[in-house]
Amino acid sequence: MSRAAPPETAMHERDPIIRVRGLVNRFGEQLVHEELDLDVMPGEIIGVVGGSGSGKSVLMRSILGLRTPNAGEIEVLGIDAHSEDAMQHREIERRTGVLFQDGALFSSLSVGENVQVPLKEYHRGLPDSLRYELALLKVKLAGLPADALDKLPAQLSGGMRKRAGLARALALDPPLLFLDEPTAGLDPIGAAAFDRLIRTLQQALGLTVFLITHDLDTLYAICDRIAVLADRKVIACAPLAEVEQLDHPWVQEYFHGPRARAAQQAGGREPGMSSR
């Protein structure tokens, strides 16, 4: 279950759970983001899309506090993501879960031990038996069999490693989940099953999901809104039906090409129809 914010960071239900204003990210002479603004609302699955080099992962890392931007303001769960107060950073870390590409698991630890890493860091007083039971619960929530708990990442398929990474991301019952290309490398059946899992967990646990993807099927299947990164900004953040109508070259090519039409048909809708 999601946790309530501490009194000093309590949020109103319809306040943005992520608020980005005037974000600037630069690598030497390369300007990646320029005055970028974005709001992510509680309880939604937001899909973040954009061409290669548009800065999707840089945006996520900035929100998580893994990169210090050149300028701008970022609030996560009502907390300044770039505060100099270390306790503020730990509070954001405790209340967010992150699934990096391919799971990013510790190769020398079993799946169960990987899932227990956040529990050991933030709940050091828990007995080993309870940590084990919590890890088992998260593994099952992620759609893995119980015997996966004792396997090493190298013994798992790519899809199972992603689910193990998801179990670790859920270890602390975070209200906010970040997913970086969660279906990359999966076959269509596996990708569709992972999409369904994310939507089920989002609804059951009341999660807010920030999802970077190139997968059109994912966008049409589970995303409530789409944030489009282009021209160093978020040029649109709206339901799919609205984004599809945007008069921008990248949007037109991406959402109206052959792959988009196939994704629309798989979702049982025509261009311009709502995805929900």
User: Per-residue confidence at 256, pLDDT binned at 50, 70, 90?
Assistant: confident
Which of 80-89, 90-99, 210-219 has the weakest average pLDDT?
A: 80-89
Please indicate, yes or no, if residue 3 is contained in any of the structural domains.
no
Residue 89: inside a domain = no
Tens digits of residue pLDDT in 203-228: 999 999 999 999 999 999 999 999 99
- Amino acid at the residue 274: S
The verdict on residue 153 lying in a domain is yes
For residue 134, the enclosing domain spans 107-173
Calculate mean pLDDT across residues 85-107: 90
Q: Is residue 147 part of a domain?
A: yes
Q: What's the total number of domains in the chain?
A: 1
* pLDDT average, residue stretch 238-257: 92
pLDDT at 257 exceeding the cut of 90? no
Considering the domain boundaries, does residue 267 fall inside one? no
Q: Does residue 136 lie within any of the structural domains?
A: yes
Tokens linked to 185: 């490398």
In a domain, 134, yes or no: yes
Band (3; pLDDT cuts 50, 70, 90): very low
What is the value of pTM for the model shown? 0.88
Whole-number pLDDT of residue 171: 96
| Per-residue model confidence (pLDDT) at position 91 | 93
The answer to the question of residue 70 being in a domain is: no
pLDDT of residue 2: 37
Q: How far apart are CA 115 and CA 188, in angstroms?
A: 27
